[in-house]
Amino acid sequence: MGQGLSIQKCDFMIPENNKSHHTEEISTKRLIVRRGQPFTITVSFSVPIHNYLKQMKRTFLVVQTGSHSSKADEIQAEFPISSLGDQKQWSAAVEEQDPNFWTLCVNTPANAPIGQYTLLFRASKSPQLLGSFILLFNPWCQDDEVFLANEVQRQEYILNQEGIIYQGTENAILAQPWDFSQFEEDMLDICFMLLALGEHFQREKDPAQCKNPVHVCRAVAAMVNCNEFRSLTEYEPGQHNNGTPPSTWLGSSPILQQWIASKFQPVRYGRCWVFAAVLCSVLRCLGIPTRVVTGFTWAHNTKSSLSVDEYYDEDGTLLTQDNSARVWTFHVWNECWMARSDLLPKYSGWQALDATCQEKSTGLSFCGPAPVHAIKEGDTQVDYDVCYFFAAINAKCHVWIHKADDTLKPAFGGTKYTGNNISTKSVGSERCEDITQNYKYPEGSLQEKKVLDKAYRNMKELETTSSSTQFIFIPTALEEPLNLFIHFQSSSSLQLGQDITLSIEVFNNSDREKATHLVAGIQALHYNGVPIAQLWKEEFHFNLHSNSVNNLRVSVPYTWFGKELGENHLLRLTAVLRDEDSSYMYLAQEEISLCDSPLTIESSQKTWSSMSQAQQRSASRTPLQNPWSSV
């Protein structure tokens, strides 16, 4: 008798449900809900349903992730329609009924896999299709691993489509506006396509894994920059003739639209801030609270070493190196908020995730998600890749002078420290927030020393138990003579077209007169520490009286260096001082950024400048295939 019962229509109540689930900006045409939170539908029957219910034991709803639930890569759940639904499981309850319709409240588990689901109604052997819906992570649900208690933070890290990415130097931070556009048309389908491809290339096809935010983060990060079908190709100098320079991008949507339009060919080109911005857009769209973070003075490709070397010639020119470790002026990555059910509770919260490929013992790969708390505490054995993040912000950079006879001499005074400033956009405002304290204890503090000692012990232990990871640690600095000292004074930020005025102070703290040779120079630099060109150099010879200081003032016209700036407009100022008696060499260095806008914004922590860019090119839209079809 049940065969005569048929569904006349099903109203998914999309406007009401999407508004309740904070997804109305994504779509007004499709049902998009968040897990762990009920949604309401109305089912209308072709005939009065009570004529059939007496002859049927129960009615059911069926959810499945594909049209063929027998496939191994699809999920199916069947649950009865009752008068009282279980809010922790897949369930459905009748809220209101009439002879010809039911209003049903459907509950989804807070740990259900995200993705597209088909919803069916079964009152006999043959279920009837009601429609489809999309399920996302839910930071508003306390039982979801991505739950974020603060509503203002949820508005910022899930719903805000506009943001700021910081560049420049630690003393002159530049603000780059960015349109994350995570709710723009087609973005949700593109994000699930990235996830599906990421799982495919990570060889992780278990559909249940999509319930885990750690798994989702790793699959998406792999697709941004670290496999053959990646959405972006990393920019190398001189490549922009057949692509878009990274500094031209102002938003994520044109990049992802181009990736789809080209049938998954990597978009040219990206840099770390572009990778992080795109990853932020995708994860916010899927429901994981995410923000973009910038660290200034970042040691890249250290392979977990806590020591990095820089090499200069005797005139202070930074020498080009291979792909070995180097110090970047700044680096941009992401933080994602989640509970780490795979780790101790103390490691829940913000997780560092870096889509920029880094050299590991297993090859190039992304890093994370790594608990920020573990990075701060030096718990380098914790998954994922805490050791790489820890080294990047705690390594010491030692400077060497490559002499004409191919010998190396230490440059005293040139040692610099990494991770000096880590910043992100403040919640609900455009202020730059310094979050360095989340990653590191204060420089020189007893707590910092304890953490470094613990990290060293952990790394040595891993070195002896793992053949795939190498750790190097140099705990002691070179013993430096204190007779001579160089100090730079210059503006940390200049406008394009402005001359550079340098003040170089040379101190002689000894009781003897010193014959010295000083070479001052300016070099154009990429943000990742790769030198572009030597732009200016001048030599000085002078005798320094005992316990005295010599102050040199130099003005360098913009016309001497303005034509060979890199896209980040970074300059490195250097001064190399040679003590003619002892042949000791001393080095001072400073980086300055040139911005093309006079606007500066003051905060209690620092001064930063607004950075204007060329207008974003438009991108055509291309119809999407079903992103949940087999890859």
Active-site residue among 189, 354, 385, 579? 354
The angle subtended at Cα 623 by Cα 617 and Cα 626, nearest 5°, is 130
Q: For this structure, is 487 an active site residue?
A: no
Do residues 574 and 316 touch, judged by C-beta distance below 8 A? yes
**DSSP reduced 3-state for 190:** helix
State the Cα torsion 23-25-26-32 to the nearest 10°: 20
- Please tell me what DSSP assigns to residue 148: -
Q: For this structure, is 581 an active site residue?
A: no
HEC string of 204-263? CCCHHHHHCHHHHHHHHHHHHHCCCCCCEEECCCCCHHHCCCHHHCCECHHHHHHHHHCC
Closest listed residue to residue 409, CA positions, set 399, 423, 417, 422: 399
Residue whose token pair is 């006999």: 124
Do residues 29 and 90 touch, judged by C-beta distance below 8 A? no
Measured CA to CA, the distance from residue 376 to residue 430 in angstroms comes to 26
Active-site residue among 191, 210, 272, 285? 272
**H or E stretch at 154:** helix 151-154
Active-site residue among 22, 215, 331, 398? 331
For 156, the token pair is 């910022």
Integer angstrom CA distances of residue 592 from 117, 565, 572, 586, 607 = 53, 12, 7, 20, 14
b/e per residue 1-16 (b: at least 16 CB within 10 A): eeeebeeeebebebee
Do residues 378 and 473 touch, judged by C-beta distance below 8 A? no
Measured CA to CA, the distance from residue 446 to residue 449 in angstroms comes to 5
Measured CA to CA, the distance from residue 244 to residue 235 in angstroms comes to 9
- Which amino acid makes up residue 175? A
Measured CA to CA, the distance from residue 198 to residue 320 in angstroms comes to 34
Residue spans of alpha helices (H) in 318-403: 372-377, 386-394
Q: What is the largest CA-CA distance in the chain?
A: 110
Do residues 541 and 579 touch, judged by C-beta distance below 8 A? no
Do residues 414 and 424 touch, judged by C-beta distance below 8 A? no
Q: Is the dihedral of CA 309, 312, 318, 319 positive or negative?
A: negative
Closest listed residue to residue 591, CA positions, set 495, 498, 526, 519: 526
Query: What is the phi/psi pair of residue 234, to 5°?
Result: -70, 135
Q: How many CB atoms lie within 10 A of CB 613?
A: 13
288, exposed or middle or buried, with CB in 10 Å at 0-12, 13-18, 19+? buried
**Which residues are CB-contacts of 19 (< 8 A; sequence separation ≥ 6)?**
none
Q: For this structure, is 68 an active site residue?
A: no
Between strands 76-82 and 60-64, the pairing is antiparallel
For 492, the token pair is 């940390």
What is the set of active-site residues? 272, 331, 354
